[in-house]
Chain A
């Protein structure tokens, strides 16, 4: 019995090492690109590597890393969540107004943000799973709806830093060993999700659902529960992102996070997460988010006009998906050759 039980596990392991190599290669490529960019920028201006500039960089990256982590979970299942920018705005405004008007303690405010995000994620998940609406359409719709709700709640008013408790703002601007709390929090969340996705059965289920939904369902994976889980996770992290946004900037109005979804999708795709699911890691997505933040901060140092930033993001997306196709085609050919050799 044990022998029978072990054999599929062994084949699964060989399969995943080939995949692991590709993914590791991708992460390595991202690290190399990051290093090259940082080295080139530092050569132009040594202050790019100063503690102050690095801290600014990590502040800027914290929210995108966090949201890219959540987005990865959804994209792995062949989904997409375009509503993250609106969810971030809604959560930022609601937690901000709770803190300024009612004066709730900071941990409770964070929980509120998480809850608001999770509620939005539940709506997305329900429309996708129960309504069988394609994720692109569903979250495009909720992008409008959630943003409309923020406008409804906020009207023309805004929350200023002076309305927020000092402890909350300290959390937003404080650092531990030179690393902003916000970035440390984002990395901690990323690490938890990374372990969950690679080591836990329900995490692997998400990959299965993304590679072949039909086969995953037939093999007994509770598709509905997993999909709901993925959208709720993504929503909750966008909600947490809203709290970080309020803490970092202090001022929140109805347009907070507008258009952010594009940057997040870009980070995830550049990070090597396949847009049609089943492949990629949160570490890659996190590195993608970091790369975009470094590009953003390096442009002024390299005296390239800030106007180039978005064009570079677009070119990176195209390059990333073209590269994925090339690597994918090569791996498929290698696997086919190996299968043919095994058959002989």
Chain B
């Protein structure tokens, strides 16, 4: 029972942050639908889902990794490299049914390299994944140079862009929702999820409690790489184009979304619903600004500020609470 008590005490400030992000997202969607022309249409809903898909796929695994106190900055480069590799395989005449699982496997292997250097050799993940960010992006240029492979079969590309029957629901929404549900269940309702939090809150204590911290982190990098491989498949088919610079710079958006969703960069704290809301908020905001003909440059400022505020606000609130408590104690 005491553990339950402590847990809920730990989760309370998070719940409020989560709720705030979800409420802000809902409020924004309603306001945008009412005030921005074409925002609330079924067709625009489809665009938003397609735009948020890569960010969501990468953010799911990134949430787990950041919760263990690590980071993976190489995800966007992994997307680029798997996409470039798909292009090379397609040019070699390999059928797409073989290429797609091969791309996910390649992503898993690239993630395993990250896992080996960080969890295996104990090197700082920030430095390692900055290194693989450059390495994987560089290798995708080695594979494809500045050419593009664009002759993807119409069946696959139109399925990716299509909707279910006559309904406005995009085909990709179903696998996206299923993956989000799986990640949510694993993080919040299984022993693996508890060990993710434990490893992030205190790696030493977690190790003494029997959590195989290094093995856990290694496999999380493999999962992150696989998700990036899957994103590579999606990206290639969605834009009908395998290019070395696919998803360039997307890692920053993914990290921004995860932190905005309330996951602590120090690890041990965070929840998936907040991250999901942050993904929707950022994509919808981008979409609404574009529809309202506001320059996308304004969005970079908004993204950057949101990222800082997401971490700054709880810190300031905590220090304000501390001062208040100290003052109350003095008066009492």
Contact = CB atoms under 8 A, between A and B. Distances in A.
Chain A bound to chain B: yes
Contact of B301 (A140, A145, A325): A145
Contacts of A313: 134-135, 138
Given A144-B303, A262-B130, A322-B123, A137 B308 contact: yes
B307 A137 contact: yes
Interface stretch (B10-18, B188-196, B208-216, B309-317): B309-317
Interface stretch (B23-31, B51-59, B292-300): B292-300
Interface core residue of A131, A138, A141, A308 (most chain B CB under 10 Å): A141
A203 B20 CA distance: 43
A131 B308 CA distance: 9
Contacts of B136: 314
Sorting the interface of chain A by its residue count into under 10, 10 to 19, 20 to 34 or 35 or more gives 35 or more
A165 interface: no
B297 A275 contact: no
A307 B145 contact: yes
A307 B138 contact: yes
A29 interface: no
Interface residues of B, number: 46
A43 to B, nearest CB: 24
Interface stretch (A49-57, A148-156, A180-188): A148-156
Interface string A132-171: 1110111011111101110110000000000000000000
A314 B138 contact: yes
A179 interface: no
A309 interface: yes
A132 B315 contact: yes
B315 A312 contact: no
A312 B300 CA distance: 30
Contacts of B95: none
Interface in B277-332: 295, 297-301, 303-305, 307-308, 311-312, 315-316, 319
A312 B307 CA distance: 31
A316 B303 CA distance: 31
Interface in A39-98: 80
Interface stretch (B165-173, B175-183, B251-259): B251-259
Interface core residue of A137, A142, A265, A310 (most chain B CB under 10 Å): A310
A152 B135 contact: no
Interface string A286-319: 0000000000000000000101111111111110
A321 B131 contact: yes
Given A132-B315, A144-B301, A318-B128, A311 B255 contact: no
A317 B130 contact: yes
B205 interface: no
A266 interface: yes
A133 B137 contact: no
A140 B299 CA distance: 15
B198 interface: no
Contacts of A318: 117, 128, 131-132, 135
Contacts of A145: 300-301, 304-305, 308
Interface of B: 71, 117, 121-124, 126-128, 130-139, 141-142, 145, 244, 249, 252, 255-256, 259, 265-266, 295, 297-301, 303-305, 307-308, 311-312, 315-316, 319
11 contacts: A80-B126, A134-B265, A144-B256, A307-B138, A310-B137, A313-B134, A317-B130, A317-B134, A318-B132, A321-B127, A322-B117
Given A137-B265, A151-B297, 14 more contacts: A80-B126, A133-B312, A134-B265, A138-B311, A145-B308, A148-B301, A259-B249, A317-B127, A317-B135, A318-B128, A321-B128, A321-B131, A322-B117, A322-B121
